[in-house]
Amino acid sequence: MPKGKVTKAIFPVAGLGTRFLPATKAIPKETLTLVDRPLIQYAVDEALASGIEQLIFITARGKTNLEDYFDRSPELERTLALAGKKDLLRIVENCTLDSGAVTYVRQNQALGLGHAIACARHLIQDEPFAVILPDDVISASTPCLQQMIAVHANTGGSVIAAMEVPPAQSGAYGILDVAGVAGRVAQVRAIVEKPRPEQAPSNLAVIGRYILDPSIFDHLAGLQASAGGEIQLTDAIAGLVAAGSPVHAYRFKGDRFDCGSKAGFLQATVSFALARSELREEFGAYLNSMVALQNAAQ
């Protein structure tokens, strides 16, 4: 089976981000700031560090500041250069993406993640491709997507990032039924979107990183809205499995933060701030004082 090199990544950023209203009325969720960088920058950094060459953003009305963020900023760059602020200039320049490496596709209605991916069909030839959901931020010594690409080089087919979750949380995830577990890799037998705990086939949940076989587009094409009234990527992956196309789950090494939820975003903020040498001491001392206050109040 041809395995194919993974050189393209799709970043779906066209959702409405309703869990962060009112902020997301005017600010794309994917540009909300984790310490000092927008969520989407973490996703792009992971892709580039994993060898991705072409970045495809599925965007929407009201998200143009995300496009501007990755573009040159001549006035700002000139001002920083004139002021001799070389470090800041480098930071600004480093988030500019090469024009030839980026494509923006508009999803004109937020019909769901599956529909968002289907919008990029014309940009993917007969090759496997990656999908990164920017609201799943993963801190790992080897980038999660890079780990998955290494697995894909052995397995071919499709590879889905997975992690164990408490059974009570199964209703928030796509849950996998797996067989043939070998270390961190297992064959997927079935996938169910947001099952109730008693109906979940396992505690292995799908996380927002995928390497997909291009035949997924045939399965996406015929889909109707399902769970939550949205066209679900999960249903197309179930179609791949049913058609006998190999799909593997990979339990990645790293810490995942659900930055699509407020609690997860705050946890990520604390964790990423404490990982920064210039913030650790001051911020750590503040957190300790908060904990001491809380304990004293109990």
Tell me: does residue 12 bind ligand UTP (CB under 6 A). Answer: yes
Task: Name the nearest CA neighbour of 111 among 220, 262, 238, 260.
Answer: 220
- Residue whose CB is less far from ligand UTP, 80 or 268: 268
**Residue type for position 156:** G
Triad 128, 134, 140: Cα angle to 5°: 85
Tell me: does residue 110 bind ligand UTP (CB under 6 A). Answer: yes
- Residue whose CB is less far from ligand UTP, 107 or 147: 107
* Cβ(219)–Cβ(233) below 8 Å: no
d(CA 260, CA 275): 21
Burial class (CB in 10 A: 0-12, 13-18, 19+), 42: buried
- Residue whose CB is less far from ligand UTP, 210 or 250: 210
Q: Enumerate residues 55-74 that contact ligand UTP by CB under 6 A.
A: 58
Burial class (CB in 10 A: 0-12, 13-18, 19+), 202: buried
Q: Enumerate residues 15-34 that contact ligand UTP by CB under 6 A.
A: 15-19, 29-30
- Residue whose CB is less far from ligand UTP, 137 or 238: 137
d(CA 227, CA 47): 29
Q: How far is the CB of 244 from ligand UTP (least distance, A)?
A: 28
- Residue whose CB is less far from ligand UTP, 113 or 192: 113
Tell me: does residue 174 bind ligand UTP (CB under 6 A). Answer: no
- CB under 6 A: which stretch of 10-18, 156-164, 216-224, 273-281 binds ligand UTP? 10-18
Q: Where are the beta strands (DSSP E) in the chain?
A: 8-12, 33-34, 37-38, 54-59, 102-106, 129-132, 136-139, 158-164, 174-182, 185-193, 204-212, 247-251, 255-258
Which region, left, alpha or beta, applies to residue 229 given φ > 0 means left and ψ of -120 to 50 means alpha? Answer: left
Q: Which of 32, 186, 260, 272 binds ligand UTP (CB under 6 A)?
A: 260
How many residues touch ligand UTP (CB under 6 A)?
22
How many C-beta neighbours within 10 Å does residue 115 have?
Answer: 21
d(CA 74, CA 93): 10
Tell me: does residue 38 bind ligand UTP (CB under 6 A). Answer: no
- Residue whose CB is less far from ligand UTP, 22 or 84: 22
Binding mask 115-154 for ligand UTP (x = CB under 6 A): xx----------------xxx-------------------
- CB under 6 A: which stretch of 9-17, 67-75, 78-86, 157-165 binds ligand UTP? 9-17
Q: How far is the CB of 234 from ligand UTP (least distance, A)?
A: 12
Residues lying near ligand UTP in the complex (CB under 6 A): 12-19, 29-30, 58, 107, 110-113, 115-116, 133-135, 260
